[in-house]
Amino acid sequence: MSVLTAAERQRFKSCPVECKILRDRITSLGDYFASISGVVSGSDTFWFRGHSEPQWGLIPGALRPTLVGSRKKALDLMSDFKRIAEAKLSRLPEPDDEFKWAQIAQHYGLPTRLLDWTESAITALYSACLGPKTDGLVFVINPIELNRLSDPSRPRILDPQSDRGLILRYLKSSPSERKATRSYPVAVNPVWSSERLIAQKGTFTLHGPMFSLNKAGVSSLVGIPIMKQYKKQLRFELRRVGVDEMTLFPELEHSCKHLRMWSGLLEFD
């Protein structure tokens, strides 16, 4: 596997995440797995997240607006979502199960304090290969190391039931960021509430008083560059191993989109 030139590495300078960006040139799945094998270690747990554009940060949707008022508006949408969901969903969480409500809202596109990750390196690569006109990045993180930053006595990923109190405190955090805090974002295992979450092996980081992972100083956080000129080839290789729009998004509309793309009736996104 070759390495990126200095000019090619410059294309990833717009990334706001302060972490090591590898120099590996990823032209195939073989290159990708070789690159990952140099990052992950032993039996440790690692999570992955794919960005189709390098300038995106590691901050959840509800906390991205720059104005406090806008962030509060985004967070306050949850109460409206709950009212609407009563009429739309056949199975509802318990009224006080705030994490499950947030997870369902995230699934349907509402901005929340959750940031999507995955246990699957392949799922993250698929996401990074969207948008063929821009470079992409796959981020890798050790979620247990992340949780130790806020509490060294917690060498595990949070559980929605046994850690319910802590999770609730994060979900109810102020829309104003506290920069001088040890309340780092925390890694939380999901409630398996949808086919899509299961297919994508989805997980979450939950962001409280510290909004972003961009400058959190997580030593395991690494970026793997995905150059735009190799995205289409990588998508073809992913399809060969059964990873595409239809397998990662089980909903029928995504199956139709998949059929249109691979028949040539729709451009790859």
Residues 6+ apart with CB under 8 A from 192: 198
- Contact between 238 and 231 under an 8 Å Cβ cutoff? The reply is no
Q: What are the residue ranges spanned by the domains of the chain?
A: 6-262
- Contact between 213 and 261 under an 8 Å Cβ cutoff? The reply is no
The reported pLDDT for the residue numbered 50 is: 98
Q: What is the reported pTM?
A: 0.91
d(CA 234, CA 14): 23
Residues of the chain with pLDDT under 70: 193, 250-255, 257-259, 261-263, 265-266, 268-269
Q: How many residues does the chain have?
A: 269
d(CA 91, CA 100): 12
Helix axes 121-128, 231-240, angle to 10 degrees: 140
The reported pLDDT for the residue numbered 188 is: 98
At residue 240, what is the residue type? R
d(CA 268, CA 261): 6
Phi-psi category of 53—alpha, beta or left, where left has phi over 0 and alpha has psi -120 to 50? Answer: beta
The reported pLDDT for the residue numbered 240 is: 93
The reported pLDDT for the residue numbered 89 is: 83
The reported pLDDT for the residue numbered 93 is: 87
The reported pLDDT for the residue numbered 3 is: 96
